[in-house]
Amino acid sequence: MIKGRIDIELLKRFEKGLDPVNPHKSEIPARIIGYGEISTIFEILVHSQQGLAFKRLPIFRSHLEMDQYEELFMEYNRLLSEDIGIQVPSYGLARIYPAGGNMVIYNVQEKLPTDSICNRIIWNLDHGSIVNLVICILKAMKKVWLFNASQTRKKIGLDSQISNWAIAGGMPASNTLDEDTQFIYLDTGTPLMRIDGIEQINPDLFLRSAPSFLVWLIKWFFLDDILDRYYDFHLVVVDLIANLYKEQKGEVVPLLIETANNFFATELAQFHLKPITLKEVRSYYREDAFIWSLYLALRRFDRFLHTKILRKPYQYILPGKIRR
């Protein structure tokens, strides 16, 4: 459905005229609507591309890598939306082959209204409503873990940060969430899926945007741990709750821990999950915030090396200051 709306020629010109160090100076007018660890999300301000969100992944070094990624991306979206029953935005993929450097895949999604994205929604919610919203997210997550439990070989991973969820149609006018409220999972660009315990995405792809002087370190010490946590319900929920500190809603954290533990003991009793503690959430957040800000600082340093010292092109767009 989205595929037919993507103007490939325009996208080629967009990529060509893009200055990753100063993305706002792009030849074709575009606005950044989100940053991730690897991708940058744009809207292109041209009439025909209105209503589309473009997630740029400049990380591919061969056609085979692109084929594998696309196949996995399709499978992940299909599993979530059809087999598991979690809505995803309509989507399409577009390949761009720049003259030099890595090849690029744009993961194009229907652009959802900014005020339907959950990290925005919680700005205006009282604590009780935030609890309800998190219960809805836990219910959606439960579907994934039930699916995983039903499978012998396949496991699906989920990055359940609050900013990865949107409410279809935005917050209901009544300001209450109920069984019928549909939640949409946005972050399908990192298709986490294991078959017989083997991660299906080529882990090298994650490391492409990492500074070259760190790649071996991350590979040997961290990557498995980082990916493991997306398959562990307890840890995915710790991450979701700790995220509320980043979203400046730290006051609601103790209440959310209580909520999650209740949910673990009742709705998820069959999984025998360890209850979450405040200490755990706090130290998780501190560590996570430290690692990501250190990582970002090292990427900036890498960009500095490339552009100012080595005088080589630098392909990645780095976020500005992140408020924590």
Ligand X SMILES: Nc1ncnc2c1ncn2[C@@H]1O[C@H](COP(=O)(O)OP(=O)(O)O)[C@@H](O)[C@H]1O
What's the CA gap between 17 and 11, in Å, rounded?
10
User: Which residue in 26, 81, 109, 315 binds ligand X (CB under 6 A)?
Assistant: 109
Residue 191 to residue 72: CA distance in whole angstroms = 6
The strand pairing partners of 316, in sequence order, are none
Indicate which of Mg ion, ligand X, none lies near residue 34 (CB less than 5 to 8 Å, by partner kind). ligand X
Contact call for residue 164 and ligand X (CB under 6 A): yes
Candidates 34-42, 170-178, 232-240, 256-264 — which segment interacts with ligand X by CB under 6 A? 34-42
CA 322 – CA 35 distance, rounded (Å): 10
The SS3 assignment for 147 reads helix
Binding status of residue 199 toward Mg ion by CB under 5 A:
no
CB count within 10 Å of CB 210 equals: 20
Query: Closer to ligand X at the Cβ: 55 or 299?
Result: 55
- Which residue stretch of 15-23, 108-116, 133-141, 301-309 sits at the interface with ligand X (rule: CB under 6 A)? 108-116
Query: Binding residue for Mg ion (CB under 5 A) from 65, 187, 199, 239?
Result: 187
Residue 211 interacts, among Mg ion, ligand X, none and using kind-specific CB cut-offs from 5 to 8 Å, with: none
Q: Which is nearer to ligand X, 163 or 262 (CB)?
A: 163
Task: Tell me if 20 contacts ligand X by CB under 6 A.
Answer: no
Cβ proximity to ligand X, 106 vs 263, nearer residue: 106
Binding mask 145-164 for Mg ion (x = CB under 5 A): -------------------x
Q: Which stretch binds ligand X (CB under 6 A): 35-43, 128-136, 149-157, 249-257?
A: 35-43
Residue span binding ligand X (CB under 6 A) among the ranges 30-38, 76-84, 249-257, 295-303:
30-38
Q: CA-CA-CA-CA torsion for 271, 277, 279, 284, nearest 10 degrees?
A: 30
Closest CA to 218 of 228, 197, 203, 230: 203
**Pick from 187, 199, 239, 288: which binds ligand X (CB under 6 A)?**
187
Residue in 68, 87, 132, 163 binding ligand X, rule: CB under 6 A? 163
Longest Cα–Cα distance in the chain: 58
186 binds ligand X (CB under 6 A): yes
* Stretch of 36-44, 73-81, 148-156, 245-253 contacting ligand X, by CB under 6 A: 36-44
Q: Is there binding between residue 109 and Mg ion (CB under 5 A)?
A: no
Cβ distance to Mg ion smaller for residue 164 or 315: 164
Nearer to ligand X, 36 or 98 (CB): 36
Give Cα 212 distance to the centre of its chain.
23
> Residue 53 or residue 237: which is nearer to ligand X going by CB?
53
Gap between the Cα atoms of 58 and 274, Å rounded: 39
| CA 162 from centroid of its chain's CA atoms | 10
Please give the structure tokens belonging to residue 287.
């560590």
Q: How far is the CB of 279 from Mg ion (least distance, A)?
A: 26
245: Cβ contacts below 8 Å, ≥ 6 apart = 253, 285, 289, 324
By a kind-dependent CB cut-off of 5 to 8 A, residue 6 interacts, out of ligand X, Mg ion, none, with none
- The rounded distance, in Å, linking the Cα atoms of 276 and 256 is 10
Q: What is the DSSP letter of 299?
A: H
- Positive/negative CA dihedral, 210, 211, 212, 218: negative
Q: Which is nearer to ligand X, 167 or 186 (CB)?
A: 186
Pairing of strands 198-199, 165-167: unpaired
243 binds ligand X (CB under 6 A): no
* Beta pairing partners, 109: 53, 91
